[in-house]
Structure 1
Amino acid sequence: MARVSGRTGGSRRWTALLAGGAAALLVGAGVVTANSAAATTAGHPFAGDAMAEVAAMQPGWNLGNSLDSTGADETSWGNPRITRELLANVRAQGFRSIRIPVTWGQHQGGAPDYAIEAAYLDRVKEVVGWALAGGFHVMINVHHDSWQWISAMPADRAGVLARYNAIWTRLAAEFRDSSPKLVFESVNEPQFTGSSGDAQNAALLEELNTSFRTAVRRSGGVNATRLLVLPTLHTSADQARLDELASTIEAMDDPNLAATVHYYGYWPFSVNVAGGTRFDATARKDLTDAFDRVHSTFVARGIPVIIGEYGLLGFDRHTGTIQQGEKLKFFEYLGHHARSRLLTTMLWDNGQHFDRTSFQWRDPELIAQIKSSWTTRSGTASTDQVFNARASAITAKTIALNLNGTSFVGLRHGSTDLARGTDYTVQGDQLTLTAAALTRLAGARAYGTNAVLSARFSRGVPWRINIITYDPPVLRSATGTTASFAVPTDFRGDLLATMEAKYADGSNAGPHDWTSFKEFDRTFAPDYSGGTTALKAEFFAEVDDGARVTLTFHYWSGTTVTYYVTKSGDSVTGTTA
């Protein structure tokens, strides 16, 4: 693309900014002074250098499920009302930018004016003002409107476009002279219902993005050079979608534009279905290929990219859907490869990560890995679980280390360093725990985790290794209904990885009948404290009436246990034989 040939210097500035990132991440975590705020709004220091501006936004965080809620107000999806204190605490975590998704439809009047409710707009302006005053780069958008009414554009092009333009015309006027650290994103995850196919989808999205840019730029003021962010269709990183957006950006010939996509991982791994229990080579390649395509299509040509949302789809239901160690490896690698491809990342958080009342991370291990990935790599391993069967003598166990460019330093139990050569040995990337050490660490060999070790590397965060005593789980017969059925389960220290479901003829049973491995937490879920494994209504909804289904439960120790269920109307019978 000829237009971007002069923008490659931005990538050099991106690299330079990142080089100082480790020290700069926590600078200015509090509220900026009046003088510094005035200096920021007096001009646009990044005007014409979108690459540098997007680099300055790394890392970012999403204020999800608040102003984007489609209910009566920002608390309707279960999060507390946004406070200045919340934003200050997020900023103190080292995030430089905040994406504030906003859904406008339920606060917008009818044709022809499509006026935005004044009180709601004032609330959005208040939150944006707090974030800017707190030192954030701030990105606002048109969010769930994308599927609520914008998706109807194939059937009502004029009506949708008029309503959409009314929003951005009003927002452009309201924020015309706001700090250049305020960024506009045209629409979240654009999608169209009932279109004739890819060509029409591309044309409609181009019309939305073009109308958005026109409305903002013609309002003047800071908006003349404000950074504008344009999404691909569905915010997909598929090459065809990237090429469509690249064509739109080339036609605009505007140096203050960025592209955005979202990334939630290789789908079977992201939701734990089809046996996707591990962040394996397939899941890793999906991430690498996506980020490489984005880099080649945009960044290499001087157009910056924001990964406007990233995470795992299973998090929307339960952050334990993905096994902890596999989860950590995903986030370690994502942060690393995003840095290598000069992509700014914005963590999706709808309240499941940073507690908006206590201001504490719900999973400290996860956020430690994410923060570390902003500046360096961490060593990991093939597993974070070492299982010892209580019914058997303890033997030495070997796990593979993923050094990721680091060097292994040592192994620690609590505050005590284990002795190399006696408690463990290391040969290349193979870490072997001796039988003597495991026996000592297992103690009385109660079921469950007996000891927690910390593998330390030359940089990054340590890798936790759980020493676990188990015996094969014991399942018992039960009766129940399709709405409420649970398999009585003595887990005996083991942990459930996945479940297969097949009919007697070998065909697959239940949802996603293209695979025998069902979706974790949506169709089945372990309750370790309650001693049950629930089979959910979503599973039985797609099981043949009267047919016996063979379930195979796969546990992280490598153990498998067979169980049988039969649905008869609303009744369910489960047996071990």
Structure 2
Amino acid sequence: MKRTHHPTGHRRSGPDRVLGLLLALVAAIGLTSTTAFAVPSHRDASAAMKNIELSPMSTVAAMQPSWNLGNTLDAIPDETSWGNPPVTKALLDTIKSQGFRSVRIPVTWSGHQSSTAPYTIDETWMNRVKQVVDWALADGLYVVINVHHDSWQWIADMPTDHDNVLARFKATWTQIAATFKDYPGSLLFESNNEPQFNNTTDAQGIQYNDELNTAFHTVVRQSGGNNATRLLVLPSLHTNSGQVFLDALVSEMKSLNDPNLVATVHYYSWYPFSVNIAGGTQFDATAQKDLTDNFARIRDTLVSKGIPVYVGEYGLLKYPDYFQPAPRVERGEALKYFEMFGYEARISGVTTALWDAYNFLNRSTLQWREPELINQIKSSWTTRSGTASSDRVFLAKSSAITARTLTLNPNGTTFQGLWQGSTKLVQGRDYTVSGNELTLTATALTRLAGDRAYGINATIEARFSRGLPWKIFVTTYDRPVLSNATGDTSGLTIPTQYRGDQLATMEARYADGSNAGPVNWTPYQEFNEAFSPDYPGNGLVLTSKFVDSLRDNTQATLVFHFWSGATVTYNVTKNGGSVTGTVA
């Protein structure tokens, strides 16, 4: 499809541009999600604004929300090497139709480029990148392209191969800049993804990153065409938002004395929660503080100084992952994270790009893998949603049903009541509310549990004055039962009757109190790396990675923690090539 170039660098027309201006206005004057304002008609707004040029800050605001075409043109060595099908125009059409206003297209060049001077990029590969960029631009999307996994493939060697790396980096951007120099201002260039340098301190890494960002800036600005004023995206070292990295990036941007620069960082939450390690099973106060501190630094260091910010990647490092046997982050905890992330980004006035390697959108069917998850992300772009301390109420089948209490997190909304489908539950009879404490009565839970089969018996919704409802799964369980097992260094599968419960984490210790497992700094091992539930197969797998790490002829005591609060203790001993597991 032929792409029409806009004659002015940042000018766009139509409803997308109008909405971008309105979003920029919201960001500029600090309107909250509860502020109401009249949106002019497309016709009136276009007539009034058609001669307005967007500032860099407003342009980046107009790019919100953004999406990453991950694990595709950045895959090694080729586009389909990491499991995704080739990009189609239909994919970009889908992203546009789903409300995204920009797309980041990560590109790894190393496998399609000579590794020696003059570092020529293969014409076929460059044309493929152009084709995908053209499709996105034709849909009216802003586009960001970059130098991606080259960062660790060859750029990381800069401390020991400085001149060659710098020459190759300049040659790479010289060719990219020449190819796209006449493209409109809706195409942005990003210097380098997650800059990293082998065997360096942070101070040394910052110097190398500054040198590359400066080289990138010089090459692009001198390449002619629209590159003279194109928005250039500069990363901090590792795209880390720690204060020292942000301060260094601000200093670099000041030294370049160029108003058309954008800062970029990435955010994947507090690490233990993001991968479920070290007991980080919940989006708790520690994980929430990590998030709010992150955006406070961004606001104070960058946004307050008029520097546009593009959070080029966000998500959770290991969720969702549909190639794993079980999700390592509990569904409700993930929803709470994405809800709060969207809010913090919105009040900070930054644009965010969801990292999607395959986990969110199925590239073959062009359908969202988990609609409730993407709906929560979409909702967070414009408003807050209420949540609760858990999305589960566990009822032990072996015990009489009693009342259960959850803590509501209204997040600035007002609790409206509970529903089961279209039926509203009755306050006073089915539940009570005291402050933010929601108590489900024994009478209601008995009705909802029905025949008390193991697993989810009923789903109810807590609804709030705005945003999405919070689903609560009434679940019958009993304490899981594990059995003795034998295996070898390839792993140990423990026969397990989950009885309606779900695995949260595992801690492992030796009798002397030291930690057992491949991770030695915490007894709580990493979900799906050291252990993994096999719910359909009624098993609990200790991986080869975990088994291999065990001391020979030394018993390790494992404690499995389940979401109901139940725990089960289990002993494992490795003797040469064999492994034995016994119920404690």
Map 1:162-173 → 2, pairs under 5 A: 162-173=167-178
Match of 2:277 among 273, 278, 281: 273
CA distance in 2, matches of 1:538, 1:460: 42
Give the letter aligned to residue 559 of structure 1: A
Give the letter aligned to residue 168 of structure 1: W
What is the Cα deviation at residue 146 of structure 1? Answer: 0.1
What is the Cα deviation at residue 80 of structure 1? Answer: 0.3
Q: Deviations over 1:196-249 (max 9, x none)?
A: x23321221111001101111111221111111000000001111111111100
CA contact (8 A) 1:544 1:567 kept: yes
What is the aligned residue count? 552
Match of 2:295 among 291, 298, 308: 291
What is the Cα deviation at residue 575 of structure 1? Answer: 0.6
Would you say 1:406 and 2:413 are equivalent positions? yes
Give the letter aligned to residue 504 of structure 1: A
CA distance in 1, matches of 2:348, 2:304: 9
What is the Cα deviation at residue 254 of structure 1? Answer: 0.7
CA distance in 2, matches of 1:370, 1:64: 18
CA contact (8 A) 2:491 2:547 kept: no
Map 1:493-504 → 2, pairs under 5 A: 493-504=500-511
Residues 13 and 446 from structure 1, CA distance in 2 versus in 1: closer, same or farther, beyond 3 angstroms? Answer: closer
Partner of 1:357: 364
Match of 1:184 among 185, 189, 199: 189
Give the letter aligned to residue 175 of structure 2: R
Would you say 1:127 and 2:132 are equivalent positions? yes
Partner of 2:311: 307
Would you say 1:154 and 2:162 are equivalent positions? no
What is the Cα deviation at residue 22 of structure 1? Answer: 11
Q: Deviations over 1:420-468 (max 9, x none)?
A: 1111111211111110110011010000000011111000001010000
What is the Cα deviation at residue 19 of structure 1? Answer: 8.0
Of the structure 1 ranges 10-19 and 144-153, higher mean CA displacement relative to structure 2 is found in 10-19
CA contact (8 A) 1:352 1:362 kept: yes
Would you say 1:60 and 2:66 are equivalent positions? yes
Would you say 1:542 and 2:549 are equivalent positions? yes
Q: What is the RMSD of the two structures over their aligned residues, measured on CA atoms?
A: 2.2
Map 1:223-238 → 2, pairs under 5 A: 223-238=227-242
What is the Cα deviation at residue 541 of structure 1? Answer: 2.4
CA contact (8 A) 2:332 2:390 kept: yes
Any idea what SS the aligned residue of 1:314 has? Answer: coil
CA distance in 2, matches of 1:512, 1:480: 21
Q: Deviations over 1:126-167 (max 9, x none)?
A: 000000001110000000000000000011111001111111
What is the Cα deviation at residue 570 of structure 1? Answer: 2.2
Residues 136 and 23 from structure 1, CA distance in 2 versus in 1: closer, same or farther, beyond 3 angstroms? Answer: farther
Residues 386 and 447 from structure 1, CA distance in 2 versus in 1: closer, same or farther, beyond 3 angstroms? Answer: same
CA distance in 2, matches of 1:225, 1:115: 26
Instruction: Give TM-score, length-normalised by structure 2.
Output: 0.91
What is the Cα deviation at residue 545 of structure 1? Answer: 1.0
Would you say 1:457 and 2:464 are equivalent positions? yes
Partner of 2:57: 51
Listed as ranges, the gaps of 5+ residues in structure 2 are 1-22
Q: Deviations over 1:17-65 (max 9, x none)?
A: 988999999x99xxxxxxx9xx99xx9933xx21111100110000000
Give the letter aligned to residue 444 of structure 2: A
Q: Deviations over 1:263-317 (max 9, x none)?
A: 0000111110111011001000011111111111111000011111001111256
Residues 44 and 193 from structure 1, CA distance in 2 versus in 1: closer, same or farther, beyond 3 angstroms? Answer: farther
Partner of 1:214: 218
CA contact (8 A) 1:11 1:302 kept: no
Q: Deviations over 1:307-330 (max 9, x none)?
A: 110011112564811001111000
Match of 1:141 among 137, 146, 151: 146
Give the letter aligned to residue 74 of structure 2: D
Match of 2:348 among 318, 341, 355: 341
Partner of 1:3: none
Q: Percent identity, aligned pairs only?
A: 58
Give the letter aligned to residue 376 of structure 1: T
Any idea what SS the aligned residue of 1:313 has? Answer: coil
CA contact (8 A) 1:478 1:487 kept: yes
Any idea what SS the aligned residue of 1:493 has? Answer: coil
Any idea what SS the aligned residue of 1:270 has? Answer: helix
CA contact (8 A) 2:275 2:316 kept: yes
Any idea what SS the aligned residue of 1:61 has? Answer: strand
CA contact (8 A) 1:13 1:52 kept: no
Give the letter aligned to residue 539 of structure 1: F
Give the letter aligned to residue 198 of structure 1: D
Instruction: Give TM-score, length-normalised by structure 1.
Output: 0.92
CA distance in 2, matches of 1:269, 1:141: 29
Partner of 1:14: 27
Residues 374 and 22 from structure 1, CA distance in 2 versus in 1: closer, same or farther, beyond 3 angstroms? Answer: farther
Would you say 1:490 and 2:497 are equivalent positions? yes
CA distance in 2, matches of 1:501, 1:373: 38
Partner of 1:441: 448
Q: Deviations over 1:455-495 (max 9, x none)?
A: 11000001010000011100000111121311100000111
Match of 1:520 among 527, 546, 560: 527
CA distance in 1, matches of 2:508, 2:85: 40
Q: Deviations over 1:494-527 (max 9, x none)?
A: 1111111011122211122121111111111111
